[in-house]
Amino acid sequence: MNSNQPDQDNILMVYVISDSIGETGELIAKASVKQFDTSDFMIKRFPYTNTVDQIKPLLEEAAQYKKCLVVYTNVDADTRAYIKRKEKELHLHTVDVMGPPMDQLESILGYEPMRQPGLIRRLDDNYFKKVEAIEFAVQYDDGKDPRGIVKADIVLVGVSRTSKTPLSMYLANKLYKVANVPLVPEVPVPKEVYKKDNRRLFGLVANSEKLYTIREERLRALGLNSSAKYANVDRIEEEVDYSVRIMRDIGCTIIDVSNKAIEETAEIINDYMRERF
């Protein structure tokens, strides 16, 4: 982009018209222009432009340039039809970014699109919520900070190796803020757990044999002695019994994860949350 006052005969002008912020149209315009060996171009973006009164002067202005392309991402059918009519009338070169894909999808799916501007922006908002939920899960993993229990949408409790951490991350991808708390006989349960709405509390249990196998493999992977207390059957049974007592005491929903995949457990919790809230 070379000049604030473009030479109408030599510069390539690209007008990007959008009923939302116009990022999609501008990215397509830039990517297309970059395929040509020229630096003599200017892209002008016109966001939130969707009425005839807004669009008419822009098209008339674009028509003054010898080399001009109009890229538009409007989803309203009447707006697109108007631009198409003016294209012929003003001898413009235009690209309808949204129209052809939506027309093809309407033909494939058998029903009309919503034609609501800015839906991709709403998807982006979900992306940022997901990032926030993942950061929350990392920050409040393994009982690191009891303040997370208060803030969490979901609190998972259970003994070691009941998949609390991976389940927290999986649920974070569904936009839930999840804290998890290990249950260990020698460590007091945070008081915040007892104060939490028990509809948001989920206890994860597994049978002793399953936990023994997982813990033994974990110790081997770390190069540690598999006969350690961590993988002792009697100790595991003690932990399981203790955890079940605590879970009943706090009134949480208990889920046996012995033979369940992470995805299956997550779906069970998701179903409970949708029913309850």
Binding residues for ADP: 158-165
Question: Which residues define the annotated binding site?
Answer: 158-165
Residue 159 and residue 139: Cα distance in Å, rounded?
19
Residue 207 and residue 195: Cα distance in Å, rounded?
28
Nearest alpha carbon to residue 72 among 116, 82, 121 = 82
Q: How many CA atoms lie within 13 A of 61 on its CB side?
A: 13
